[in-house]
Structure 1
Amino acid sequence: MHYVWKFRLFDRIDLKTDDGEELEILSAGMHNTDSGPDFHNARIRIGETVWAANVEVHLSASDWQKHGHTTDNAYGNVVLHVVYHNDEPLVLPNGRKVPTLQLKNRVPDELYNRYHQMIFGNQSIIPCESSIGGIDGLIMHNWLTRVLVERLEKRSEAVVNTLNLNRGDWEETFYQFLAANFGFKINALPFELVAKSLPQLTLAKHKNNPMQIEALIFGQAGFLDTEFKDEYPLKLKKEYDFLRKKYNLKPIENHLWKFMRLRPQNFPTIRLAQFAALIVQSNHLFSKILEIKDIDALRDLFSAIKVNDYWDDHYRFDVLSKPLPKTLGASSVDILLINTLALFLFCYGKQHQQQYYISRSLKLLENLPAERNNITEDFAILGLKINNAFESQALLELKNNYCNYKKCLQCGVGNKILKLA
């Protein structure tokens, strides 16, 4: 009923109140999602008088009493009661009779049937799965743009919270988020804990000694509290034992790291080695990202990192393996660009009110390939062509925060389907 009133999706010919007065809806008002009347500042002509006041919407007129509005002063200035079924007149305690508009027989059956099918149908993927493939491309793009911005704004809240904890230090905040994303979901938490236990200021003191950087990172990750056979981990352990006392460090619990069901290339030991190499090779990384516009140059920041030679034939300490390069793959680099760089460019632009960086964030996503996961594959089955990360990120937000909760009335796609002639 809120939706029907908001978009005036009812027969408006010869409208009359329950008392027979002529009624004209000039503006439905602003939808109020807090307490109080459902719509504020509606403009309505009743008889010869134009009102600018509040509107309350119910299924039945008797719901006014059931919902306790009679004793709530917030509802005292309601100028129109909109109901589907007018089962009783509405009279306030002061004796004022509130005009009522009954929408029964004015709401098209087809509109209700479409809504009922989306909300209560037997769909297997999303509520509008039988119709979404036919939505005009421009309408879909415009809605996905809005949904993507919603996603980036929500994710920016976590960035801003961490930024505040870091006293406005963008480099430190970026470093912590980048570390978490090096964990690629399954090991995000321990990576984040390692980064928070090792401020960049500490690492900067050892920039000219890659072995010490590696020792600090592997040590804080809890991988050096054991006995080793190979020379490389023995050296790391020796370095870390010294640095641990110097900085009074406490490593995280090693059991937090997950190896199960991961390809060896994604083992946390390899990701930590790559992260250490990135720290060694990159100074003031976020400042560089703000300056670099070319997507290939951004990719090179991560794809060109070179881990310690020890890892060429190892995935774990003391366990020899077939020699293979341990560089970050193209898909892994793109995930880092999507989840870290694009987010930080957007958030930085928002915080500094600079549209330039917001546009760069969206442009970056437009130029990255679409992610492949269960959600994007489901949308592809429904006939959507997903061209880039801009669209795949938006579809993730659409599925997780609209489709899963059946917010079809708040969705641009759902609105279009309901309004189709």
Structure 2
Amino acid sequence: MQETLLHHIWKFNKFQSTNLKTTQNQSVVIKSLGQHNLGAGPDFFNAQINIDGQLWAGNVEIHIKSSDWYVHHHETDANYDNVILHVVWEHDTDVFRKDNTAIPTLELKPIVDSKFLNNYNQLFQKQNQWIYCEKDFANVDDFVLSNWLERLYFERLEQKSQVIEKLLQKSKNNWEAVLCAMLAKNFGLNINGEAFLSMANSMDFSIIRKLQSNQADLEALFFGQAGLLDKSYQDSHYDDLIKRYTFIKHKFSLDNTKVLPVQFFRLRPTNFPTIRLSQLASLYHTRQNLFSSIINCDDLGSIYKLFEVSTSNYWEAHYNFGTPSRKSKKGLTKSFINLLIINTIVPIQFAYAKSQGQDITESIFELINEIPAEKNSIVSKFQGLRFIPNSSGYSQALIQLKTAYCDKKKCLQCAVGNALLNE
């Protein structure tokens, strides 16, 4: 037995609620179960309970055993002085207030809904499965699942907006700087994301502003800060970037000693840090007011057009310094821009609207669902269990479902788990 289950049983009234008696044989009539408290203090606030003919208003504390009251030292904590009912799974001792009067105790074990408890035990007894409800996931009502996934998408978006809020604090509320940091991180993808983010954070955004009109200078800045100009090559373009970076570094007193090293290993050449940083430099060279442009983009086509950029000429015939390759234009692909929309553009739009007191959840959900679902193992597994719309809004929600609920065994906080438990 777990206390989280007991919280759920109390919160959703999964017990026989008529003819209740305390362990002291007092009658109990529940007027209000109270508000679930997820922080410190009693488990439910502001309950209203009639005990032996007298109406009480106060808090409810829940434990597996009555003696847990003393194990948790509630007898010395003033936060528990207003507990009007002690709800336990198993009563093993009386609990007293400071004035030595016994706190009324309700034992759940004899009165809990047996069908609900059976469903719970069956769900958590399933072993060696990807998720607990793997075999029953397809049976959940479409309406219930669709609404839950929409809620999970915005829960995930809220988490991303919290990252943006932290970056805003560091940048003194400079939205352009935050956008640059987020773009840099996502241009680096999983392998170089943190390295690119540390590169962006190693300099003030005003430096990018000052160098924006010269693409070669901007590229030298990004490459130099990322530690890609520390070797020796027989290459005139490389020599030119070093000269530019040396001047820029001295002029702006730059330091890159805390920038994480970039990686080439296990990357496709099109994702090499050299290519991605050149594309990022090109984006900031050609889009002078990128933040305002992104905020004003309200359809997929305008976003794709905004990110129609490619590398500088040198990188059309190279993937690394000093090693020529077959010439090809290396622009941002639609699939890569989709990742930027999912992980940078939409979170920025959402966070900015939130800061302005605007609600754009409906338009955000419409936009994100125009993009096909990401391809990863989590999404594929869920799609193998039942039909789920092929859109990024739903795939992001599935990632949130797996990582924030299934992996953490939070079935009681999950709409899918609740639907199966309440069958």
User: TM-score scaled by structure 1?
Assistant: 0.92
The equivalent of 2:229 in structure 1 is 224
Return the offset for 1:60. 2.7
Q: Could you tell me which of 361, 367, 385 is aligned with 1:364?
A: 367
Q: 1:305 aligns with which of 302, 309, 325?
A: 309
Distance 1:243 1:87 in 2: 74
1: CA distance, partners of 2:39 / 2:260: 45
Q: Kindly state the Cα deviation for residue 154 of structure 1 after the two structures are TM-superposed.
A: 2.0
Q: 1:63 to 1:296 in 2, by over 3 A?
A: same
Q: Does residue 329 of structure 1 match 2:346?
A: no
Distance 2:318 2:125 in 1: 54
1:7 counterpart = 2:7: no
**Cα–Cα, structure 1 residues 93 and 189, in superposed 2: closer, same or farther, change >3 Å?**
closer
Report the Cα offset of residue 398 of structure 1: 1.5
Does the 8 Å contact 1:123/1:129 carry over to 2? no
Give the corresponding residue for 2:3: none
CA distance in 2, matches of 1:255, 1:159: 20
- Paired with 1:71 and 1:203, the residues of 2 have a C-alpha distance of 58
1:415 aligns with 2:383: no
Task: Name the amino acid aligned to 2:204.
Answer: P
Tell me, yes or no, if structure 1 residue 101 matches structure 2 residue 106: yes
Say if 2:401 is the partner of 1:390: no
In structure 1, distance between residues paired with 2:97 and 2:199: 63
Give ranges in structure 1 of 5+ residues lacking alignment: none
Structure 1 residue 415, shift from structure 2 partner = 1.4
Structure 1 counterpart SS, 2:310: coil
The match for 2:270 among 259, 265, 277 is: 265
Q: Is the 8 A contact 1:44 1:50 kept in 2?
A: yes
Question: Which of 49, 55, 60 pairs up with 2:60?
Answer: 55
CA distance in 2, matches of 1:252, 1:321: 31
Counterparts of 1:233 and 1:207 in 2: how far apart (Å)?
20
The CA deviation string for residues 124-145 of structure 1, in whole angstroms up to 9 with x for no partner, is 2112212222111221122222
What is the CA deviation profile of residues 188-225 of structure 1, one whole-angstrom value per residue up to 9, with x for unaligned ones?
12211222234332233333322222222222222223
Residue 345 of structure 1 corresponds to 349
Q: Give the distance between the partners of 2:150 and 2:131, measured in 1 at CA.
A: 19
Deviation of 1:397 after TM superposition, in Å, equals 1.4
After superposition, where does 1:21-420 map in structure 2 within 5 Å?
21-251=26-256, 256-302=261-307, 304-356=308-360, 358-420=361-423
What's the CA shift for 1:376? Answer: 0.9
Percent identity over the alignment? Answer: 39
Does the aligned pair in 2 maintain the 1:176–1:196 contact within 8 Å? yes
- 1:355 shift after superposition: 1.0
Question: C-alpha separation between the residues in 2 aligned to 1:24 and 1:281?
Answer: 70
- Quick one: structure 1 residues 110 and 199, their matched pair in 2 at CA, closer, same or farther if it must change by over 3 Å? same
Letter aligned with residue 387 of structure 1? N
Aligned-partner residue type, residue 33 of structure 1 = L
Question: 1:260, 1:276 → 2: CA distance?
Answer: 22
Deviations 1:298-340 (A, max 9, x none): 01222x1032222222111111122333112221110011100
SS at match of 2:48: strand
Q: Secondary structure at the match of 2:64?
A: strand
SS at match of 2:233: coil
CA distance in 2: counterparts of 1:370 and 1:202, whole angstroms: 37
Q: TM-score, normalised by structure 2?
A: 0.92
Give the deviation of 1:409 after TM superposition: 1.2
**8 Å contact kept, 1:82–1:101:** yes
Change in 2 beyond 3 A, CA 1:274/1:262: same
Amino acid in the other structure paired with 2:386: G
Instruction: Provide the rounded CA distance (Å) in 1 between the counterparts of 2:255 and 2:334.
Output: 34
Cα deviation per residue 1:56-78 (whole Å; 9 max; x = unaligned)? 22223333334333343433332
Residue 310 of structure 2 aligns with an amino acid whose one-letter code is K
Distance verdict in 2 for CA 1:253–1:309, change over 3 Å: farther
C-alpha offsets along residues 358-378 of structure 1, whole Å, 9 cap, x if unaligned?
444333222211111111112
Give distance in 2, aligned partners of 1:69 and 1:290. 51
Distance in 2 (CA, whole Å) between partners of 1:351 and 1:255 is 31
Q: Which amino acid aligns with 2:139?
A: G
Amino acid at match of 2:411: C
Backbone CA RMSD of aligned residues: 2.1
2:86 aligned counterpart, secondary structure: strand
Cα drift, residue 115 of structure 1 = 1.9
- The answer on whether the counterparts of 2:279 and 2:309 sit within 8 Å (CA) in structure 1 is yes
Whole-angstrom CA distance in 1 between matches of 2:80 and 2:60: 9
Which secondary structure state, in structure 2, belongs to the residue aligned with residue 355 of structure 1?
coil
Which stretch of structure 1 is more off in the superposition, 152-161 or 262-271?
Answer: 152-161
| Equivalent AA in structure 2 for residue 94 of structure 1 | D
SS of alignment partner, residue 172 of structure 2: coil
**1:94-114, Cα deviation, whole Å (9 max, x unpaired):** 232322222223223332232
Distance in 2 (alpha carbons) for counterparts of 1:89 and 1:254: 60
Structure 1 residues 159-195: Cα deviation after superposition (integer angstroms, max 9, x where no partner): 1121122111111111111111110021012211222
Aligned residues: 418
Alpha-carbon spacing, 1:27–1:212, altered in 2? closer, same or farther (3 Å): same
Q: Gapped runs of 5+ residues in structure 2?
A: 1-5
Deviates more, 1:233-242 or 1:24-33: 233-242
Distance, in Å, in 2 between the alignment partners of 1:217 and 1:73 is 57
Deviation at 1:252, TM superposition (A): 5.2
* Separation in structure 2 between the aligned mates of residue 216 and residue 65 of structure 1, nearest angstrom: 62
Residue 260 to residue 41, structure 1, CA distance change in 2 (3 Å): same
CA distance in 1, matches of 2:124, 2:147: 23
